[in-house]
Amino acid sequence: MRFPEPMMEGPLSVETALANRRSVREYADEPLTPDSLGQLLWAVYGVSEEGPWNRRTVPSHAALYSMDVYVVAGSVEGLEPGVYRYDALSHSLEEVQEGDLRAEVAEVCLEQDWMEAAPVILVLAASFERIQQKFGERGVAYAFFEAGHMSQSCYLQAESLGLGTTCVGGFREEELIDLLDLPPDHHPMLVMPVGWKV
């Protein structure tokens, strides 16, 4: 799925989004639209300035951008349920595997069944190999910083769109890697269910 160009002006100011941001664990039974999902993914890790560096919406040490965003989609208009990787350069999704795995992700996230109601679940994963080639062991800390920047962008864009989200940091890592068929050097950092607020 290729997304439309992201909006550069939204209905809320940054200040209002910051003041209203909350962790949301209940979601309406309503699918996400391609526009809302595309806007959210752009805010989380999209390209904000094309050029030699292809700068993103979040900071990254030495502009390495060692993260990937995986979308566990269950209810998105025009998108088959499955696991997808967000390609920031083309602002599109690449299919990783078919099928609705939201219940399985919730199970791996220490049986947090409420997650299943979210139309999509984002998984922010880091390539430790990519970042450690430049920064050694310190690179792992930088990956955590980057995941934090991404999650805050997700919170703020979700609030602006009328969506809700939260960060889930408790999960069985190896099981999640296997379930989503992540590359060997990818490590999940945060899991973020997203849906319309009730």
Question: For residue range 95-146, what is the model confidence (pLDDT) as tens digits?
Answer: 999 999 999 999 999 999 999 999 999 999 999 998 999 999 999 999 999 9
**Is 0.75 surpassed by the pTM of this model?**
yes
CATH of 14-196, one of 3.40.50.11540, 2.60.40.1180, 3.40.50.170, 3.40.109.10: 3.40.109.10
53 pLDDT above the threshold of 90: no
pLDDT band at 39 (very low <50, low <70, confident <90, very high): very high
Domain ranges of the chain: 14-196
Question: For residue range 54-95, what is the model confidence (pLDDT) as tens digits?
Answer: 899 999 999 889 999 999 999 999 999 999 999 999 999 999
Do residues 186 and 68 make contact, with C-beta atoms less than 8 angstroms apart? yes
52 pLDDT above the threshold of 90: no
Q: Residue 51: what pLDDT? A: 81
**Beta bridge pairs of residue 95:** 84
Judging by DSSP bridges, how do beta strands 92-98 and 47-49 pair with one another? unpaired
Q: Residue 54: what pLDDT? A: 84
Structure tokens at 167: 């960060």
Say how far apart CA 140 and CA 54 lie, in whole Å: 22
**Going by C-beta distance under 8 Å and a sequence separation of 6 or more, which residues neighbour residue 198?**
26, 27, 28
pLDDT, average across residues 156-184: 97
